[in-house]
């Protein structure tokens, strides 16, 4: 019998889009993460990454359009 899905949890993918330029506020112009968030991404918990992806980055995106 073969399983159709993996029982291993899948890691959260990175929001990186390959536009890796930090602005004057230390925010990446491509993915909107702070340099510290980029540096720690691989050691963050899934909960931290999920929070950044679902809450923090959408807020930053909205703020960018308000400027």
Can you give the pTM of this predicted structure? Answer: 0.78
User: Could you report the per-residue pLDDT of 3-46, keeping only the tens digit for each?
Assistant: 566 566 666 789 999 999 999 999 999 999 999 999 999 999 99
- For residue 15, give the 3-state DSSP assignment: coil
HEC states along 25-52?
Answer: CCEECCCCCEHHHHHHHHHCCHHHHHHH
Q: Can you give the residue ranges of every domain in the chain?
A: 14-67
Element (H, E) at 64: helix 57-66
The CA distance from 4 to 16, in Å, is: 29
| Residue of 49, 37, 57 whose CA lies nearest to 9 | 49
């Amino acid at each position: 019998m073969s399983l159709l899905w993996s029982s291993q949890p899948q890691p959260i993918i990175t929001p990186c889009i390959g536009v890796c330029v930090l602005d004057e506020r230390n925010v990446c112009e491509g993915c909107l993460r702070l340099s510290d968030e980029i540096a720690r991404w691989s050691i963050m918990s899934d909960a931290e990454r999920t929070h950044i992806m679902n809450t923090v980055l959408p807020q930053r995106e909205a703020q960018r359009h308000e400027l």
